[in-house]
Amino acid sequence: MNIIQCYAPTNDYNEDAKDQFYNRLQSIVEKNPTKDLTILMGDLNAKVGMDNTGYEDIMERHGLGERNENGERFANHVPSINWS
């Protein structure tokens, strides 16, 4: 089992810092053996909201409020990570 604890940049950070965070996260996840369970936890500084249209495979409809910029970035980046 692999547990990844992370703290993502807030919406106030510049785009380069946010891209750097998600690229690093992807690199860390993909280094773990695919047969292992990987749990991602921490403060992603993202509001994913309740609308999961198009993202049903990565999130349910249990979010609150509206998706913010970091929530959009998270929702778009997570599927590109090779989790299997």
Rounded to whole angstroms, what are the CA distances from 72 to 10, 48, 54, 60? Answer: 13, 7, 12, 15
Phi, psi of 27 (to 5 degrees): -60, -45
Domains in the chain: boundaries? 2-80
pLDDT 10s digit of each residue in the chain, 84 long?
Answer: 999 999 999 999 999 999 999 999 989 988 988 888 889 899 989 888 888 787 777 777 777 788 899 988 888 887 677 665
